[in-house]
Amino acid sequence: MSRTARPAGRACLPATPEPAAEPPTAISLSAADAPDAAPPKRPTRARLQTFFLREFARSGSLADAAARTGIAPRTVQRWRASNIAFAGRYDAVLETRVELLEDAAMRRALGRMSRPVFHRGQHVANVERHNDVMLMRVLARFDRLRERRAVDEARRAANADAVDDIRLLDEASERARWASRP
């Protein structure tokens, strides 16, 4: 009677059905904190997408998250184009990453760096520096956002006027149609 060796870490377990769970609308960063998480063993599209979103939330880099998932970045673009739910979750993770970066930039812009000053081996003072360049960049970004919002609002107002004109024309044609009937 010979025994066959099993690979380490693999045990024979009875197959149990996995409970169906609703996919989360957004991947939280706390869920992405698992270090050295491996891609799913049975890679279905939904599992790959969830793993990718966790890695993307953790690293913030599309290329890095795609490489860790074992897919091409182009695959993520196709998923976004074909799957509205995935696109929404991707956008939510992206917004979270952008907010984190903006918060970090604001802390660096408004905070000060304290550097020790030594003279002949003795600590004599601390020099505090403000990051003026970072503050200027953050303010410029907020100016661009303000301008972009103004342009978007103007575009929406123009579209609303166009929709109102079309609605008025439709109503006038309906009245004319009803007035021409005996």
> Is residue 9, in this structure, part of any structural domain at all?
no
Domain membership of residue 174 as a residue range: 132-182
* Claim to verify: residue 139 and residue 94 sit in the same structural domain: no
- Mean pLDDT score, 174-180: 78
Residue labelled with tokens 């998932």: 69
Which pair of structure tokens corresponds to residue 129?
Answer: 């520096």
Q: pLDDT for 89-147, tens place per residue? A: 998 998 888 888 888 888 887 888 888 999 999 999 999 888 788 878 877 877 787 88
Of 89, 80, 135, 127, residue with least CA distance to 108:
135
Of 175, 171, 151, 173, residue with least CA distance to 163:
171
Domain count of the fold of the chain: 2
Q: pLDDT for 5-30, tens place per residue? A: 444 444 444 444 444 444 444 444 44
* Claim to verify: residue 84 and residue 34 sit in the same structural domain: yes
